[in-house]
Amino acid sequence: MSKQNTAKIILHVDMNAFFCSVACLLNPALRGKVFAIGRENSYRGVISSASYEARALGIHSAMSLKEAYTLVPDLIVVSLDYSHYVHYHQEFLKILHQYSDLVEVASIDEAYLDITPISKTRHPLVVAKEIQKRILKEIGLSCSIGIAPTLFLAKMASDIKKPLGITVLRKRDVKEILYPLSVADIYGIGKKTYPTLISHGVQTIADFMDLTNQKKIIDLIGNNTYQYAYSHILGNSSNVVDPNRRSESESISTSQTFDRVIRSSIEVLYELRKMTREVVNKMKKDHYYTKTITITMRNLDFKTITRSKSIDYTDEFDVIYEVVTDLVEDHYNDQELRLLGVGLSNLKDEKSLPRVYNLFTIENEDEKQRTIDKIIQEYQTKYGKNALFQTKKKNL
Predicted local confidence at residue 248, as pLDDT: 47
Predicted local confidence at residue 366, as pLDDT: 53
Of the candidates 91, 110, 176, 278, the residue annotated as catalytic is: 110
pTM: 0.64
Positive or negative, the CA dihedral 158, 161, 162, 165 is: negative
Predicted local confidence at residue 250, as pLDDT: 64
Residue 207 and residue 201 in contact, taking contact as beta carbons nearer than 8 Å: yes
**Is the pLDDT confidence value at 363 over 70?**
no
Cross-strand pairs, 288: 349
Q: What angle do CA 204, 238, 101 make, to 5 degrees?
A: 125
The residue type at 81: D
Is there a shared CATH topology between the 8-169 domain and the 252-352 domain? no
pLDDT band (50, 70, 90) for residue 263: confident
Predicted local confidence at residue 351, as pLDDT: 61
pLDDT band (50, 70, 90) for residue 376: low
Q: Which of 106-120, 320-334, 361-375 has the lowest mean pLDDT?
A: 361-375
User: For the residues 246-259, what does the mean pLDDT come to?
Assistant: 73
3-state DSSP assignment of residue 355: coil
User: For the residues 363-388, what does the mean pLDDT come to?
Assistant: 58
pLDDT in tens, 43-52: 777 787 899 9
DSSP secondary structure code for residue 255 in this structure: E
Cβ neighbours of residue 244 closer than 8 Å, sequence gap 6 or more: 349, 352
More confident residue, 361 or 374: 374
pLDDT band (50, 70, 90) for residue 371: low
| Spatial distance between the Cα atoms of 312 and 295, rounded to a whole number of angstroms | 18
Q: Tell me the C-alpha to C-alpha distance, in Å, between residue 263 and each of 37, 256, 337.
A: 29, 15, 7
| Spatial distance between the Cα atoms of 124 and 221, rounded to a whole number of angstroms | 36
Predicted local confidence at residue 47, as pLDDT: 84
Q: Which of 54-58, 239-243, 264-268 has the lowest mean pLDDT?
A: 264-268
Query: Distance of alpha carbon 33 from its chain centroid, rounded?
Result: 27
First-to-last CA distance in the chain? 73
pLDDT in tens, 271-326: 999 999 999 998 888 788 888 899 999 887 778 888 988 888 888 899 999 999 98
User: For the residues 104-120, what does the mean pLDDT come to?
Assistant: 91
**Is the pLDDT confidence value at 160 over 70?**
yes
Q: Considering only CA atoms, give the Rg of the chain.
A: 27
CATH 3.30.70.270 matches 8-169: yes
3-state DSSP assignment of residue 35: strand
**Is the pLDDT confidence value at 360 over 50?**
no
User: For the residues 352-374, what does the mean pLDDT come to?
Assistant: 53
User: For the residues 99-107, what does the mean pLDDT come to?
Assistant: 91
User: For the residues 19-32, what does the mean pLDDT come to?
Assistant: 95
Cβ neighbours of residue 336 closer than 8 Å, sequence gap 6 or more: 261, 262, 263, 299, 300
pLDDT in tens, 72-92: 999 999 988 777 888 899 999
**Is the pLDDT confidence value at 26 over 80?**
yes
pLDDT band (50, 70, 90) for residue 107: confident
pLDDT in tens, 9-23: 999 999 999 999 999
pLDDT in tens, 125-156: 999 999 999 999 999 999 999 999 999 999 99
User: For the residues 233-252, what does the mean pLDDT come to?
Assistant: 80
The domain locations on the chain are 8-169, 252-352
Q: Which CATH superfamily is domain 252-352 in?
A: DNA polymerase, Y-family, little finger domain (3.30.1490.100)
Predicted local confidence at residue 350, as pLDDT: 67
Catalytic residue status for 110: yes
Predicted local confidence at residue 161, as pLDDT: 94
Predicted local confidence at residue 369, as pLDDT: 59
Residue 198 and residue 213 in contact, taking contact as beta carbons nearer than 8 Å: no
User: For the residues 206-231, what does the mean pLDDT come to?
Assistant: 93
